[in-house]
């Protein structure tokens, strides 16, 4: 009787209309939920949340707000970074029993900067079907609203909290030919922008996207130097932030005169091979070609050692 009663309650409510939800087939469903505006939920996501046997989430209180908004009575089960070792095997066991399991994060798409990827890996390794239910995603919302190049982009999650680690990571990403996308906390955004201006270049374009889809949504665009000055350490910043940094500008190859001048300067204090190698590092040109050009210069009396 209990199962029959639960089946009868499967459904969701939109604009005072109750929509029955079909029981979902056995699988792990990764369901995207709104990142702020509760209206940003898909009908497929609502049916999945209402129709699965087990609903796992980061914070039951947060997910309960969404469920109550749409009249879903499914009881959420907590799965987060602090209980993943214990809760994960229980969810896999439910899949083994032929049940359907849905996973949601507090906001956005599961497995993006949250512990859900561990559950996804466990399900795949155990041979269970994993079904994405796409929807809201903070990195993509930020990208399309920022005006930054979207033909190639790299999501790099959160930068390290400590300054050295942050700068080292930025240096690793400095030459990536894509728009860089980061999550950042409001109390660190000033320090992050200051470090990015120094490491990536003060004139590199960027956009701070704050409170996406919410009432006070903001896109603040400018150079890294301009944004660092705006979000200095003394400014109080609130809300969730996505930081976007434009790809590096392609550098023009040095001309013939510049290359020859550089080779002469380096060869005045270095052996030929070392001078060619250093010139290659500085210009990005081929070491062998530079070595031959330096030999030619020496033959005509234009080189050093």
137-181 pLDDT, tens digit per residue, is: 999 999 999 999 999 999 999 999 999 999 999 999 999 999 999
Distance in angstroms (rounded) separating the CA atoms of residues 158 and 138: 13
Sheet holding 218-223, edge to edge: 153-158, 179-184, 241-245, 205-210, 218-223
**Does domain 139-245 correspond to CATH entry 3.40.50.1100?**
no
pLDDT for 281: 83
Distance in angstroms (rounded) separating the CA atoms of residues 79 and 85: 9
Q: Are strands 218-223 and 205-210 parallel, antiparallel or unpaired?
A: antiparallel
DSSP state of 181: E
Is residue 174 within 8 Å of 248, Cβ to Cβ? yes
Distance in angstroms (rounded) separating the CA atoms of residues 201 and 92: 47
- In order along its 305 residues, the chain shows pLDDT tens digits of 345 445 557 999 999 899 999 999 999 999 999 999 999 999 999 999 999 999 999 999 999 999 999 999 999 999 998 898 999 999 999 999 999 999 999 999 988 777 788 899 999 999 999 999 999 999 999 999 999 999 999 999 999 999 999 999 999 999 999 999 999 999 999 999 999 999 999 999 999 999 999 999 999 999 999 999 999 877 889 999 999 999 998 666 677 888 888 899 999 899 999 989 988 888 878 889 899 998 888 887 655 44
pTM: 0.78
Distance in angstroms (rounded) separating the CA atoms of residues 226 and 224: 5
Distance in angstroms (rounded) separating the CA atoms of residues 203 and 13: 50
Distances (CA, A) of 291 to 124, 211, 257, 272, 280: 53, 54, 16, 7, 9
The CATH code belonging to domain 2-135 is 3.40.1010.10
pLDDT for 7: 56
Instruction: For tokens 């919302």, name the residue.
Output: 141
**Residue 201, both tokens:** 């270049």
């Amino acid at each position: 009787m209990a199962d029959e009663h639960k089946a009868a309650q499967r459904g969701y409510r939109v604009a005072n209309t109750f929509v029955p939800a079909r029981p979902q087939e056995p699988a792990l469903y990764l369901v995207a939920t709104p990142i702020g505006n509760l209206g940003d939920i898909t009908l497929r996501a609502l049916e999945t949340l209402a129709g699965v046997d087990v609903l796992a989430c980061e914070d039951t209180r947060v997910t309960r707000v969404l469920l109550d908004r749409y009249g879903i009575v499914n009881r959420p089960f907590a799965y987060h970074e602090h209980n993943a070792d214990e809760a994960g095997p229980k969810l896999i066991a439910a899949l083994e029993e032929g049940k359907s399991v849905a996973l949601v994060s507090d906001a956005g798409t599961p497995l993006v900067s949250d512990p859900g990827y561990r559950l996804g890996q466990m399900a795949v390794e155990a041979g269970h079907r994993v079904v994405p239910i796409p929807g809201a995603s903070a990195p993509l919302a930020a990208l399309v609203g920022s005006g930054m190049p979207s033909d190639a982009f790299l999501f790099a999650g959160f930068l390290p909290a400590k300054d050295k680690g942050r700068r080292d990571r930025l240096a690793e990403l400095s030459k990536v030919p894509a728009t860089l996308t980061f999550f950042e906390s409001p109390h660190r955004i000033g320090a992050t922008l200051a470090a990015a201006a120094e490491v990536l270049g003060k004139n590199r374009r960027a956009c701070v996207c704050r409170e996406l889809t919410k009432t006070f949504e903001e896109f603040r665009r400018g150079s890294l130097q301009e944004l660092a000055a705006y979000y200095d350490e003394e400014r109080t910043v609130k809300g969730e932030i996505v930081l976007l940094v434009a790809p590096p500008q392609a550098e023009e190859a040095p001309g013939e005169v510049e290359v020859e001048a550089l080779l002469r300067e380096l060869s005045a204090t270095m052996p030929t091979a070392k001078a060619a190698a250093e010139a290659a590092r500085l210009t990005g040109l081929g070491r062998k070609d530079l070595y031959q050009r330096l030999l030619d210069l020496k033959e005509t009396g234009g080189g050093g050692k």
